[in-house]
Amino acid sequence: MSDLVVIAFEDPQKAFELRGRMVELQKEYLIAMDDIVIVTRDDDGKVKLHQATNLTAAGAVGGSFWGLLIGLLFLQPLLGAAVGAGAGALSGAMSDFGINDDFMRKTGESLKAGGAAIFILVRKVTGDKVVERLADFAHTGTVLQTSLSKDKEDELRKIFDQTF
C-alpha cells in the first residue's frame, strides 16, 4: 500500500528541488515512489500540474512505433506511423495513474498565489536515511496532508513545517 504526502511551499523552486532530491533517493533505493507531481499556482491564480512523466508524449512515441511496424506489414509505413502516433497520443492523454489530477487541482486552488505543493505517493521508504538526506529542507514548507500514521506525520511536520 502506498502513502500520500502533500507539502506546500511559498517558493515553487523549493518544490522542484525536493522533487530532484526525491528522484536521487529513489535511484539510491532509499525510497520507492509510485508518483510525484508538483502543483503550482501562478500570480493570476491559475493552477498547473507538473507531472514527472508526460503521458501524451510517451503515448505518441509508443503509438508511432507500433503504427510504423504495422504499416510496414501493409506497405504503408508513414500512414501507419501517423495513425499510430495519433492513437498513442490520445491514449496517453486519457490515461491517468497515480495521484488523482482533480484532487491535485483542487488542492492547488487553495495554495497562495505564487506558491507550490509537491504530491508524493510513496510505496516504500527507508525512513531514517531519507530524513537525514532531507535536512536542508527543514522548516521550508507546510505539510498539508498525509495518509501516514499520526506518529510518522508528526515526524514529517517536525522536518518541514515552518511553524514547528
Q: Kindly report the pTM of this predicted structure.
A: 0.72
Query: What does the radius of gyration of the chain's CA atoms come to, in whole angstroms?
Result: 19
Comparing C-alpha atoms, which of 120, 118, 117, 131 is closest to residue 159?
A: 131
Kindly report the length of the chain: 164
Looking up cell 505564487 gives 114
State how far the Cα of 5 lies from the Cα of 127, in Å rounded to an integer: 14
Its domain, for residue 88, covers 55-94
Tell me, yes or no, whether 106 and 81 share the same domain.
Answer: no
Here the cell at position 98 is: 497515480
Tell me, yes or no, whether 37 and 114 share the same domain.
Answer: yes
Best-predicted range by mean pLDDT (88-92, 96-100, 135-139): 135-139
Render pLDDT for 24-69 as a digit per residue (tens, 0 to 9).
999 999 999 999 999 999 999 999 999 876 444 444 455 555 555 5
Tell me, yes or no, whether 78 and 153 share the same domain.
Answer: no
Given 43, 75, 94, the domain boundary residue is 94
- The whole-number pLDDT of residue 97 equals 54
Here the cell at position 93 is: 492523454
Higher pLDDT, 62 or 17: 17
Render pLDDT for 129-155 as a digit per residue (tens, 0 to 9).
998 999 899 999 999 999 989 998 888
Q: How confident is the model at residue 82 (pLDDT cuts 50, 70, 90)?
A: low
Given 44, 76, 94, the domain boundary residue is 94
State how far the Cα of 84 lies from the Cα of 47, in Å rounded to an integer: 31
Given 63, 94, 125, the domain boundary residue is 94
Tell me, yes or no, whether 13 and 36 share the same domain.
Answer: yes
Q: Is the model's pLDDT at 7 over the cut of 60? A: yes
Tell me, yes or no, whether 47 and 10 share the same domain.
Answer: yes
Q: How many domains does the chain divide into?
A: 2
